[in-house]
Amino acid sequence: MTVISVAFIATQAQGYPCVFETECFEDESCISADFRVEVDIADQAIMTEFGDLVIVAVKETGRLTTMFATGEGSEYMLSLTPRGARMTSHANDGPQVISYLGRCEGAF
- pTM of the full structure: 0.83
State how far the Cα of 66 lies from the Cα of 81, in Å rounded to an integer. Answer: 9
pLDDT digits (tens, 9 = 90+) for 52-108: 999 999 999 999 999 999 998 899 999 999 999 999 999 988 889 999 999 999 888
Q: Which CATH number fits domain 15-104: 3.40.190, 2.40.50, 2.40.128, 2.70.98?
A: 2.40.128
Give the residue among 1, 5, 2, 38 at the shortest CA–CA distance from 19.
Answer: 38
Residue-level pLDDT at 13: 55
